[in-house]
Structure 1
Amino acid sequence: MELFSRILLCYDGSREGRRALRLGADLAQRLGAETHLLAVLDNAYWIRGYDAAVMEATLVEEQSAREILREGVEKLETRGVNATGHFATGSPIDQIARMADRIRADLIVVGHKRCGLLARWWAGQGHGLLLDKVSCSVLVAVDTGEGPPHE
């Protein structure tokens, strides 16, 4: 068995996501790994209401998330990496863990933006929880915010 033969890249189109995509693509190419790309539409804030305005916003957000996924797959192809795209709706941490289990990933690659403790608490970010939900390695691509975004 090769080290990291099946990689799950998580992509949201953000600066941090682009860095994770680039690093994950480089790693997948070097290892010749089977590559999967996951885009997750986080529905936590709109799941409570179902009026017409919320439904319309939901459709727009879903179209945007699917476009981000398509864009990510295309970027991988231009780097010589053939990837299978996956789209999910729900908590990103839960969906990443489910997909990693489903495809039996050896490695998950995610992006991370540094922020203060108060900002992390306020936003409800629980990146550490991902580590408790998966049984494979996780590579966290940290964007320092210096220089141009990585494509």
Structure 2
Amino acid sequence: MFNKILLAVDINDDAGAQRAADHGLELARMCGAELHVLNVVPDMGFNLVGSAFGPEHAKQVRTETETALRTWAEGAMPGAGIAGLHVSQGTVYDQIIRKADKLGADAIVVGAHRPELRDYLVGPNAARVVRHAKQAVLVVR
């Protein structure tokens, strides 16, 4: 059914990331698919804010996030045989879609929070991934 799956997790939400990981692992096992894991570091917002920290800060954040993702994956999915761990920085839903396209993923597994009023007006990342991705998307609550 699927050959390559992208599991997008927020490692700052342990429970939600674990639920998504459990479903992503099961789907990969059922399909005999390659599993890639992505964590996105959101943009800092205004360019003025980002420029105040400089390139060294961005590099440090990326390095720390890569280490944290590796540690999380070892604990949450021991022995899973993950094909790749990836860290991107930018708009969350956009980076998920870009990484899925770049990897040639057939499916995306993403966690979702319970919707709040503001989510109905703006739209959460999971909903945007569902609307814009070319791949099949499994949203895990």
TM-score normalised to structure 1 length = 0.75
Contact map agreement 2:111 2:126 (CA 8 A) in 1 = no
| 78-87 or 17-26, larger mean C-alpha shift | 78-87
Hey, what does 2:10 align to over in structure 1?
12
Asked if residue 24 in structure 1 is aligned to residue 24 in structure 2, the reply is: yes
Which is richer in helix? Answer: 2
Asked if residue 43 in structure 1 is aligned to residue 54 in structure 2, the reply is: no
Residues 37 and 47 (structure 1), Cα distance of their counterparts in 2 relative to 1, 3 Å cut: farther
* Whole-angstrom distance in 2 between the partners of 1:65 and 1:38: 11
Residues 76 and 25 (structure 1), Cα distance of their counterparts in 2 relative to 1, 3 Å cut: farther
Q: 5+ unaligned residues in a row in structure 2: which ranges?
A: none
In the TM superposition, structure 1's runs of 4+ consecutive aligned residues that sit over 6 Å from their partners are none
Shift of 1:140: 0.7
Hey, what does 1:86 align to over in structure 2?
86
Contact map agreement 1:39 1:69 (CA 8 A) in 2 = yes
Give a deviation string over 1:56-82, Cα, whole Å, max 9, x none. Answer: 765564344223321244246524333
Hey, what does 1:146 align to over in structure 2?
none
Hey, what does 2:115 align to over in structure 1?
115
* Whole-angstrom distance in 2 between the partners of 1:71 and 1:24: 18
Shift of 1:39: 1.2
Give a deviation string over 1:97-120, Cα, whole Å, max 9, x none. Answer: 1111111111100011103223x2
Hey, what does 2:102 align to over in structure 1?
102
Shift of 1:122: 8.0
Residues 72 and 26 (structure 1), Cα distance of their counterparts in 2 relative to 1, 3 Å cut: farther
The alignment yields a C-alpha RMSD, in angstroms, of 2.5
Q: Percent identity?
A: 30
Give a deviation string over 1:98-151, Cα, whole Å, max 9, x none. Answer: 111111111100011103223x26886343221232111100110xxxxxxxxx
Hey, what does 1:129 align to over in structure 2?
128
Shift of 1:23: 1.1
TM-score normalised to structure 2 length = 0.80
